[in-house]
Amino acid sequence: MRRLVLLLSLLLSVLIAPPAEAADATGFVLADRNGGVSVAGDATDAGDASGLPSPVVGAAATPTGEGYWLTTSDGVVLRYGDAPFKGSAASRPLNQPIVGMAAHPDGQGYWLVARDGGIFSYGSARFLGSTGAVRLNQPIVGMASTPSGNGYWLVARDGGIFSFGTARFFGSTGDIRLAQPIVGMAAHPSGRGYWLVAADGGVFPFGVARFLGSAGANPPAGGVSAIVTTPTGNGYWLVSGEGDVLAFGDAAPLVSPGRQPAPVVAAA
């Protein structure tokens, strides 16, 4: 009986113990076309791919923030830090070049997306559909995963959205005349919305994603190349082709890594 009481006391102490404080990480990596990597905020620089024969077109981070993947236009995937290598499209004949990638939320897989919307899935990332056999008005420029990893969105240059798996369609700019083309997207952490960003820094929110500001009235030099959301979904950063970082909402102001040797093409 005494042993049972001790066990119950130990269990109760574990249940009521205060939770460990979550890490307050704020930052991300920027990848340029030549494979160079720089960091904004407290992100970890785990290495770069400088000197590759093919341009880097996409980047994705692991859940810990201690690693990331880079992908090139011919489907090469390079891993850094705690990012595991799960495969690449480098040995496959591609109908169109790779234009981006997204990580599975568990950090054990990733997707590559081609210009025609062809999807290449690796590790825990499952193939859930593509636009590879669809005649597109404009080419695909990026993608984003749902929080569960059971769905993803593809975005085209005109802001057309294609949703697969559990990813829901919340709207697009496909029928809007844009001043500059869409260059990327970011999913709201809840999975119930997303933002699209144009080359001039215009931001277009859908679903629960809120408009918190843009650079559309004063585009940064080099244009905008990526959007990164905060963990709360109440803020985002815009990243310019020259490495400038603009903060909106609850996104903390971060020191820009400055002008890069080549245009920044992705942030994660």
Residue 218 lies in a domain: yes
Count of domains for the chain: 1
Residue 34 lies in a domain: yes
Cα–Cα distance, 229 to 250 (Å, whole number):
10
Give the burial string for 71-105 (b: 16+ CB within 10 Å, else e). Answer: bbbbbbbbbbbebeebbbbeeeebeebbbbbbbbb
Residue 79 lies in a domain: yes
Residue 86 lies in a domain: yes
Q: pLDDT tens for the chain, 268 residues: list them.
A: 444 333 333 333 323 333 333 334 589 999 999 999 999 988 999 999 988 889 999 999 999 999 999 999 999 999 999 999 999 999 999 999 999 999 999 999 999 999 999 999 999 999 999 999 999 999 999 999 999 999 999 999 999 999 999 999 999 999 999 999 999 999 999 999 999 999 999 999 999 999 999 997 888 888 999 999 999 999 999 999 999 999 999 999 988 777 777 899 999 9
Q: Which CATH number characterizes residue 110's domain?
A: 2.130.10.10
The pLDDT, as a whole number, for residue 8 is 32
Residue 75 lies in a domain: yes
Put simply, whether the predicted model's pTM sits higher than 0.75 gets the answer yes
Residue 96 lies in a domain: yes
Residue 122 lies in a domain: yes
The pLDDT, as a whole number, for residue 117 is 98
Domain ranges, residue 189? 27-267
Q: Which residue in the block uniquely carries the two structure tokens 């404080």?
A: 21
Residue 12 lies in a domain: no
The pLDDT, as a whole number, for residue 16 is 31
- Distance, C-alpha 117 to centroid of its chain: 16
